[in-house]
Amino acid sequence: MKKFLTLILFTISQIAMAQNPMFDICPLKVGSAIPEVSLADKNNKAHTLEELTAEKPTVIIFYRGAWCGYCTQHLAELNDAKADIEKLGYQIFGVTMDQASKLEESTKKSESEIEVYSDAKAEAIKAFGLDWNVSDELFSKYLNEYKLDLEAWSGEDHHKLPVPAVFIIKDGVVQFQYVNPNYNTRLKAETLVAVLGTL
């Protein structure tokens, strides 16, 4: 009976995962060249990803926005490891759906010194295979129940969000990626530092 119930629960969870668009993504794989995309800084100045990663090996943190408590908490945790990351010869920055004018909110809420860039048009998250579409029903729920207007944060009406992810880039090539559709589960700072020490 116990095995039967376990099987039922597993089946239900698999069906739920299949119906969740966050699980229907195809992230950029290790060994892939980074895509040709541009990101905006807090002054709305455009920078190509190639330029941003040219000087040093890079840790890129893809997150949903300053409105997401899980995201700002993760940035805060990674900020505590920033010095260790830099000692290993890496730089670290974040990429968010927030428009350029809202980037400083991530810094304030996370009390972080990690530089963040805007991908408001969702070009980078598409190129990295992290994008998923927020349904009309979910968009309405965010707006009416949580007073969260995704369009106001991004300045766009595409209703896309990224699955949170961490990519390590060296010489324009993906060396490591951590992608988890369970947005409340993030890569631990100590795990990231340990991984960097092996590359």
| Per-residue pLDDT reduced to its tens digit, 65-79 | 999 999 999 999 999
Q: Is 55 exposed, middle or buried (0-12, 13-18, 19+ CB in 10 A)?
A: exposed
Q: Which pLDDT tens digit goes with each residue over 76-113?
A: 999 999 999 999 999 999 999 999 999 999 889 999 99
Let me know the angle formed at the C-alpha of 42 by 110 and 171, rounded to the nearest 5 degrees.
85
Smallest CA-to-CA distance from 118 within 94, 93, 99 is with: 99
pLDDT of residue 53: 97
pLDDT of residue 183: 85
More confident residue, 100 or 182: 100
pTM of the model: 0.87
For residue 3, how many other CB atoms are within 10 A of its CB? 7
Provide the greatest CA pair distance for the chain.
61
pLDDT of residue 22: 59
Q: Does domain 27-196 have CATH number 3.40.30.10?
A: yes
